[in-house]
Chain A
Amino acid sequence: MSCIRSIVAVSFLASIGVSTAVTAQEMISDTTARKQPLTTWGVQFEEFEYRYSDDDEELGVWNADAFYGTDEFKVRLLTTGEYEIEEQAYETLENQLVGQIPISKFFDAKAGVRFDTPEGPDRTYAVLGVAGLAPQWFEIDANLYVSKDGDTSAELDAEYELLLTNYWILAATLDATVAFSEDREIGVGKGLVSTETGLRLSYDLIDRAFSPYVGVVHERKYGDSADFAEADGGSTADWFAVIGARIAL
């Protein structure tokens, strides 16, 4: 009997143990990562390509961006360059560092600085822009630039992806620049400056991380900018065959 009693006693003690554990319960506050804003990052090369023009010009071109941040605030580095392979010189080289915040369901506002350091004169601009997804699936990136000398210009980037299949994608891009004042030194005339239109057929080879493509790109200069280009011995319209890859890390 004493044996039973002791077992009962043990179970009794165990129960008390559980009960006291209940009283000792403490409502902790959540300091885990879950309660913090989710921080994320990404690197994307929208274009990473070799271009061959109709007058035998060869270019290495990239257009990439990297971001780090939360839903509420991201820092984004945008970089784009055109490297003239034969002359071993940068035709264009732009780097932007912007902060980005959401302003509507589908659009973000950006503000920051842009440094142009190609072959020839450098420029520094303040950047104000919006980027996002417009109705009917157009990816839009629109920016206003003000140079240190007060020259202003605007740039619109638009992209549309047509899914031939879920892996073969035909991407159409349009990039147009308008200047509100002339900057003769870098060949920019007032009015519509230039457009770049592209059509690229890609295949998603490894997830969306590596998608090789081929395509055509047409570059054109307009108005005074075209005249400046001609005066400087450059071309005003070029067709390029391109081969490259879209890369996402």
Chain B
Amino acid sequence: MKTRLLTGLLSLLMPAMVMAGEYDLTVDRVKIDTGDFVKEGIGYNGVSPGPVMRFKEGENVRINVTNNLDEMTSIHWHGLILPFDQDGVPGISFPGIKPGETFTYEFPIQQAGTYWFHSHSGFQEPDGAYGSIVIEPEGREPFRYDREYVVQLTDKHPHSGDRIMRNLKMMTDYYNRDQQTVGEFFSDVSENGFMNTVRDRMAWGGMRMMKADVEDVHGFTGLINGKGPDQNWTGLFEPGERIRLRFINSSAMTYFDIRIPGLDMTVVQADGNNVQPVSVDEFRIGVAETYDVIVRPKDEQAYTIFAESMGRSGYARATLAPEKGMEGSVPPMREPARLTMADMSGMPGMDHGSMSGMDHGNMDMSSSGDMSGMDHSNMGSMDHSNMEGMDHSNMKDMDHSGMSGMSGMSGMDHGSMAMGTEEKSDPFYAKGSGLMPKAANGGKFLSYADLKAQDPLYEVREPTREIELRLTGNMERYTWSINGVKYEDADPIRLKYGERVRFKFVNETMMTHPMHLHGMWSIVDVGAGQWNPIKHTVSVQPGTTVYMETEVDAPGQWAFHCHLSYHAAAGMFRKVIVEGGPESTQAKTDVIAKDGGEV
């Protein structure tokens, strides 16, 4: 009786107390079998990918990481909000974990959702050092599901990360096997005419840029939960069940376009934060992003999860089936993507031929606050024929909050401003971009513009300042940088605790960059005001400008970089220092003492 009373009391008190979970991870040399090749790599607890770490919101975790390698290692908890010295970036958070050493991470879990973890040392992550994190929320989920699976993708390559980096430095097109050929020249001639094709080739040759430069590293095997297309990872279901699929893109370099033919997907979470449900046929997952979707297969049949790489150089495949061994059909990959001049529009000093008179890069509307300066009535006279390549994404800095008086326009859809073209377009891509996503079935393709926070974490307020970060690089030299400066030569970005910074990403390269700020949330400006989605990784497409805001609420120093492994290593990386902070220690302990006193 007494014990029961005690446990009862204890359980009552539980929420007020700090729970502590203890976890162990070893970092090991492992063999990775993709079905296409077997490769020596790095894993956790003896396998790659590592385990699903299941945490509870509100618990304090202690994670003992033992390094069984003969080199330094580290684990970064991607997307988790934690003290900076637990963030796991060698040289920024801590010195790293020596061979044979056990390092204990200890931090409170202050969030819920789908995340992942990976090594932040050298190229251990492309070599296999990654795993997933699932955090159960304290409260009720705003959506229902009967079962859940982690669906973790990667682009496993037969070459080690070090070798890939060296090959790219030696020959930037070393891995690109979708380059334009003589055959493509003739097929373009028959489609567009000889002179047009020659002109097109001369224009690109003049820039020394390749239309085929969508993915730096071809030749990988797409894995889902460690299984190659032939090994076919399979998740079981009972017809009629709602299944929550936690997609995580742990690739070194590869964006995937994901669809499940025959099933509608309802996106309910992005980068660990719940979003207002949006039903899609297909979505593109950037490197390091996560998307949680709910599907409801009603039939007693197998469904293929098909993930084509954005450049169509490879794919990953898995199956949802009522029984082991059942398989759905695997669709063929679509044609390789080709960049267009629109994707080049971010490059300074580029002559865009017919576009030369229209400098959209300078359409800075943020300065006008309200939109009074923009005369829509004159838009009818714009010559639409010349507008191929017009970059609407640069218009995102239109201050929508100032438009509140224009109620009719609150739902203004930049996609519908396509000026003469009927095709659906995503405002987060340069208008006319060769990377513009299209659903295979002609249906709905997810855009950042569709993401609206379910439960905003922060009050909306005016940013205290704007920081422009131009994403820069030189493909021929395989150098990547921010504002033209590589990490090795760069000063840290200094932020003040308590400010709200608006970051302006201007992509001046022809590649997509998934920008990841550690330690603090990235609130992407999709024009939804307080409902702007909260992410940890923000994709910036070629020739576009994307804005995100960050509440600077985490003291310390943090990494901020492109999550493409070889771009980060080539210099597209920064250290962010957050100066100041609450006179925390004293204040915090006081609060805890008071709470303790009341018990």
Task: Mark each residue of chain A from 191 to 223: 1 if its CB lies under 8 Å from any CB of chain B, else 0.
Answer: 000000000000000011000000000000000
Task: Mark each residue of chain A from 142 to 173: 1 if its CB lies under 8 Å from any CB of chain B, else 0.
Answer: 00000000000000000000111111000000
A38 at the interface (CB under 8 A from B): yes
In chain B, residues 19-56, which have Cβ atoms closer than 8 Å to a Cβ of chain A? 20
A32 at the interface (CB under 8 A from B): yes
CB nearest neighbor in A for B577 = A27
B413 at the interface (CB under 8 A from A): no
Which secondary structure characterizes the binding site on chain B?
mixed
A231 at the interface (CB under 8 A from B): no
Identify which of A3, A22, A162, A248 contacts B83 (C-beta below 8 A).
A22
Task: Mark each residue of chain A from 100 to 117: 1 if its CB lies under 8 Å from any CB of chain B, else 0.
Answer: 001001100000000000
- Pairwise interchain contact B83-A25, C-beta atoms closer than 8 A: yes
Q: Give the Cβ gap from B582 to chain A, nearest Cβ, in Å.
A: 10
Q: Give the Cβ gap from A66 to chain B, nearest Cβ, in Å.
A: 11
Which among A10-18, A48-56, A81-89 touches the partner chain? A10-18
Q: Give the Cβ gap from B584 to chain A, nearest Cβ, in Å.
A: 6
- Pairwise interchain contact A34-B85, C-beta atoms closer than 8 A: no
A135 at the interface (CB under 8 A from B): yes
Identify which of A7, A8, A34, A163 contacts B179 (C-beta below 8 A).
A163
- Pairwise interchain contact A163-B556, C-beta atoms closer than 8 A: no
- Pairwise interchain contact B596-A166, C-beta atoms closer than 8 A: no
- Pairwise interchain contact A34-B569, C-beta atoms closer than 8 A: yes
A41–B167 Cα distance when bound, in Å, is 9
Residue numbers in B under 8 Å from A30 (CB-CB): 91-92, 575
A207–B174 Cα distance when bound, in Å, is 8
Identify which of B18, B94, B219, B573 contacts A34 (C-beta below 8 A).
B573
- Pairwise interchain contact A35-B91, C-beta atoms closer than 8 A: yes
- Pairwise interchain contact A36-B488, C-beta atoms closer than 8 A: yes
- Pairwise interchain contact A21-B91, C-beta atoms closer than 8 A: no
- Pairwise interchain contact A133-B589, C-beta atoms closer than 8 A: no
Identify which of A3, A16, A38 contacts B570 (C-beta below 8 A).
A38
- Pairwise interchain contact B169-A42, C-beta atoms closer than 8 A: yes
A23–B589 Cα distance when bound, in Å, is 12
A40–B171 Cα distance when bound, in Å, is 12
Q: Give the Cβ gap from B513 to chain A, nearest Cβ, in Å.
A: 17
B373 at the interface (CB under 8 A from A): no
- Pairwise interchain contact B177-A41, C-beta atoms closer than 8 A: no
- Pairwise interchain contact A40-B166, C-beta atoms closer than 8 A: yes
Q: A37-B488, A137-B208 are in contact. Are A15 and B589 (CB under 8 A)?
A: yes
B154 at the interface (CB under 8 A from A): no
In chain B, residues 221-259, which have Cβ atoms closer than 8 Å to a Cβ of chain A? none
CB nearest neighbor in A for B489 = A37
A162–B206 Cα distance when bound, in Å, is 16
A128–B180 Cα distance when bound, in Å, is 35
CB nearest neighbor in B for A26 = B85
Most chain-A CB neighbours within 10 Å: which of B83, B169, B178? B169
A26–B84 Cα distance when bound, in Å, is 10
Residue numbers in B under 8 Å from A29 (CB-CB): 91
The 4 lowest CB-CB distance pairs between A and B, nearest first, are A30-B91, A32-B91, A42-B170, A136-B205
10 A-B contacts (beta carbon < 8 Å): A4-B599, A8-B596, A15-B18, A21-B106, A23-B585, A34-B90, A38-B169, A71-B479, A133-B208, A165-B183
